[in-house]
Amino acid sequence: MSLELPADKSIVILGGGTAGWISANAMIDSWADKGLDITLVESPDIGTVGVGEGSTPRLKIFFDRIGVAESEWMPRCKATYKNGISFVNWSTRPGFERYFHPFATNIDKHTATAFYFNTHARRQGVDVHAHPDRFFLSAKLAENRQGPKPNENFPFFVEYGYHFDAHLVGEFLKERAKARGVKHVQAKVLEVKQTPAGDIASLLTDQEELIEGDFFVDCSGFRGTLIQQTLQVPFLSFAENLFNDSAVVLPTEQEAKIGAQTVSTAMKYGWAWEIPLTHRIGNGYVYSSSFCSSDDAETELRATLGLLGSGVEARHLKMKVGRVETHWHKNCLAVGLSQGFIEPLEATALNLVCNTVYDFIDTLEAADFSDEGREGFNDRVNMGFEKVRDYIVAHYIMNSRDDTDYWRQNGENRHVSDRLQKILQIWKEGKSLSQEMEQQQIPSSYTATSWCCLLAGYGFYPDIRPVPVDHPASRKVDMSEIDDFIRRCSLNFRSHNEQLCF
């Protein structure tokens, strides 16, 4: 392809959801000095999906990279800190009905060895403490409703994500992008015009404006107007791995002490999120419409939240779970829901958005618009999707619930990637996850610690059996030392409420 950077070229972004405005900010910042012209077109009539309130630490990297301080964006977006995610009722194994998934962080190296030792011993059948929560500082901070930012006397950084109002983040990023020169057109695109070679040439709006461009970024949401509808890039569904295709959303009032974690509770036909913002709690039930009607899902969620008979209005959403075959095709890059979506259990969508946009920018800087550059980029983004999918799928196939067909069929589902099967096999065989994943070159978006938390958190262990006292695995970790270490570390963190006063 002949298009080259740098040059006086024009980029047109279709869609003003979080993906569109993240793309606009990343591109204008990276290419501001190259005379690039960026236009974002969005339709107020269509609107945005309006959900997506939890992030991984990747969002912090994004805001840091564009030079926006937390004190600038967090109060405006009603944002809070997220230490990690608590999973409730996914496992029925006694003692393992709930566990916490922290973000991998430096300070963990002081306790992770003991965690690995005990989970290893427990996999040999030794009776030791092998539930993750007592080993991780972030779990303690979440439990105490403390924020993740330490006082100055504590020289360690603890990884964290955010909770935020998705609509307000979009507004914030829109304002910033426009101030930096991104043109904003509010109109509905009715027709996409192509060149004889099949590239996208222009977008015709309902105001009869023809928006021409050299390169197009499809951020049109689940519609995939450019990448799927126009360019006909095939969509690969993940429905056989992940059954959930719907969600119902209901807000509740915030509590006096603001929570510092996402809570994900297994329900009859899916799971419910609880996301604390500064002005409200966001709640949603992600479920499979093959097992449960939208009315039943809403009733179940209302009952859980004590909102039966209340006038609080629910929003119902459909989800298309899977990914496009190639994210960059011809002169079009797909970012956000248009490129694919993995259900929001680990809040990974904006992670994939940021990775996609910055990988694209870096690829262009290094390889320009070469075929090789594009193929490498598409392979990496696809791998990113597959690796996240494996981790999410593991939550379902390992569940031990027996209360509905939904959970039984999830537990029996054999549509599992080779990669995931290998990880589960390593765990069952009592081998070291980190060593084996490295040696066998099993790529994963998640660290061995994350996998260990998931598998240990579910109590995925054999029965306890007597082992000789001189068995190497029977050496006891002193849990009171671990408890003391975590407790004393936690004294260096203020309450979440205090940390939100900027």
Ligand X SMILES: Cc1cc2nc3c(=O)[nH]c(=O)nc-3n(C[C@H](O)[C@H](O)[C@H](O)COP(=O)(O)OP(=O)(O)OC[C@H]3O[C@@H](n4cnc5c(N)ncnc54)[C@H](O)[C@@H]3O)c2cc1C
Site for ligand X in 222-261 (CB under 6 A): 223, 225, 247
Is residue 296 within a helix (H) or strand (E), and if so which, with residue range? helix 294-305
Cβ proximity to ligand X: between 149 and 223 the closer is 223
Under 8 Å between Cβ of 325 and 277: no
**How many Å apart are CA 243 and CA 294, to the nearest integer?**
15
Cα gap 122→183, rounded to integer Å:
59
In the set 61, 168, 204, 317, which binds ligand X (CB under 6 A)? 317
Min separation Cβ 344 and ligand X, Å = 3
DSSP state of 33: G
Reading the block at residue 388, the tokens are 């996240």
| Of the residues 102, 284, 340, 457, which one makes contact with ligand X according to CB under 6 A | 284
Contact positions with ligand X (CB under 6 A) in 22-61: 41-43, 46-49, 51-55
Among 30, 220, 331, 355, binds ligand X (CB under 6 A): 220
Distance, CA of 134 to CA of 132 (rounded, Å): 6
* Candidate ranges 10-18, 82-90, 106-114, 401-409; the one touching ligand X (CB under 6 A): 10-18
Identify whether the C-beta of residue 215 lies closer than 8 Å to the C-beta of residue 325.
Answer: no
263 near ligand X, rule: CB under 6 A: no
Binding map of ligand X across residues 375-404, x = CB under 6 A, - = no contact: ------------------------------
User: Using the rule CB under 6 A, which residue among 98, 180, 184, 188 binds ligand X?
Assistant: 188
- The two most distant CA atoms of the chain are separated, in Å, by 81
Shortest Cβ 191–ligand X spacing (Å): 9
Question: Does residue 189 touch ligand X according to CB under 6 A?
Answer: yes
- Residues from 324 through 353 that contact ligand X (CB under 6 A): 336-338, 344, 347, 349-350
Residue 182: name the closest of 17, 21, 7 by CA.
21
CB within 8 A of 3, min separation 6: which ones? 9, 214, 215, 331, 369
Report the C-alpha gap between 48 and 167 in whole angstroms. 8
Shortest Å, Cβ 246 to ligand X: 8
The residue count of the chain comes to 502
Stretch that binds ligand X, among 73-81, 215-223, 383-391, 453-461 (CB under 6 A): 215-223
Q: Does 166 bind ligand X (CB under 6 A)?
A: yes
CA angle 308, 310, 313 (to 5 degrees): 105
Question: Which residues of the chain form contacts with ligand X (CB under 6 A)?
Answer: 14-20, 41-43, 46-49, 51-55, 166, 188-189, 219-221, 223, 225, 247, 284, 317, 319, 336-338, 344, 347, 349-350
